[in-house]
Amino acid sequence: MKLLLTGVTGQLGTAVAEIAPERGVTLVPLVRPARPGQVPFERAFPSLAAAKVTGDVREPLWGLGETDLNALADDVDAVVNLAGDTNWAGSGRDLYAVNVLGARNGYDVARELQRRSGRRVAYVQASSIYVVGGTLGRIAETPLTLDRHRTAYEHSKWLAERELERQHGPGDPDILISRVAALLGDSRTGATRKRNSLYLLAERWDDLPGRVLPAMRGAKVDVLPRDLAAGTLLDAVAGLHRTGPHPEPVITHLSAGERAPTLRALLETARALSPLAFGKWVRLVPASAEQVLWMSANAERFLPLSPAWRNSLIGLRYIGLDRVMERGRLAQLVDGQLPEPSTELLARLLFDLPEPQRPLAPADRGLSRFLA
């Protein structure tokens, strides 16, 4: 496959760029014009420098000109939009411009490439599992209705999904809406492009007010290492082509789903792995969904909070609610095993816990038998 890809400098995009050559996937990255003080794209991604095109997802047709569109129409199989404003405490205007207009403009690009080439060109939109707002229980891979608990970020992702559903018509490019879980670093190296709010919550472990963490009794933490998410996404894009055409947008949950650990299991695993890594332990306090949602959305009304702290408190809803993201439609697209990261792996990545050291046999051979 050959993919026109936005968001290559982000957490998921970087992982896709790293794993694409292993999967036989060619990438054409769309990058914004360089800004003063920014590391040049050519230096950050030298292997992709020659293939890049310049544009902006906020512009019609992503700002691509005739020359670029004609060249891309020759052999691009899918337009993959991983670009997004992921600031959970961001302004509604910025979130709308990037997340909603970016999705609509991206679908126009896929339409235009399909029109010019006469071939099927798919469109892939990275949404978020948190678009479900305050919904509990088992979450189906289907369109969602209004939810009063959505934050501005979640609402912008929901509007983007609705816009794509509205735009799609007979003969138009297939649409894959991939609701992505929170991402941690690489499962092999731990390397991360960005420390999201779950990391921020871990970093503020010793500063949690009252040493308590409110959560529902069965609260789950649905996160994935970025490389597992990237590989599964590429498999899903290939599956979309293999099983198409699709008369309706295909919605999938790119997440741990039923394999996501409970919050209690994740914390207890972390403590068992490295008990000395935590200065003080927090206490999980049973709370209702309404309490968790209200506190995550309204604490700033009563406390002066920095943007980082606001993001961390909003992150409470992403580890404090009891719900399971179904993955049946994802399984239909992916020709292989769905991601099933272990609780131990997730705990190590989230809290930066070191790998266990194997004990060395003592110099006295008579004692070494006890370490066998």
Is the distance from CB of 88 to CB of 311 less than 8 angstroms?
yes
Report the mean per-residue pLDDT for the chain: 89
As a whole number, mean pLDDT of residues 119-131 equals 96
Structure confidence at residue 363 (pLDDT)? 60
Residue scoring higher pLDDT (85 or 12): 12
Is the distance from CB of 330 to CB of 235 less than 8 angstroms?
no
Q: Please state the pTM of the whole predicted model.
A: 0.90
Structure confidence at residue 99 (pLDDT)? 94
pLDDT band (50, 70, 90) for residue 206: confident
Is residue 328 helix, strand or coil? helix
The correct CATH number of 2-188+222-259+323-343 out of 3.10.20.600, 3.30.70.100, 3.40.50.720, 3.40.50.2000 is 3.40.50.720
As a whole number, mean pLDDT of residues 141-163 equals 94
If you ran DSSP here, which 8-state letter would residue 360 be given?
P
Give all strands (DSSP E) within 19-153, no chain letters: 26-31, 53-54, 78-81, 122-128, 137-139
Return the domain boundaries, the chain: 2-188+222-259+323-343
Taking only the tens place, the pLDDT of each residue in 257-280 is 999 999 999 999 998 998 887 778
CA dihedral 344, 346, 352, 356 (to 10 degrees): 20
Residue scoring higher pLDDT (363 or 290): 290
Q: How many CA atoms lie within 13 A of 348 on its CB side?
A: 16
Taking only the tens place, the pLDDT of each residue in 38-78 is 788 888 888 998 999 999 999 999 999 999 999 999 999 99
CB neighbours of residue 74 within 10 Å: 11
If you ran DSSP here, which 8-state letter would residue 185 be given?
S
Amino acid at 55: G
Residue scoring higher pLDDT (203 or 368): 203
Instruction: Indicate the burial class of 38 (C-beta count within 10 angstroms; 0-12, 13-18, 19 or more).
Output: exposed
How far does CA 52 lie from the centroid of its chain?
23
Tokens at residue 39, please? 């590391």
Q: How many CA atoms lie within 13 A of 301 on its CB side?
A: 5
Structure confidence at residue 194 (pLDDT)? 73
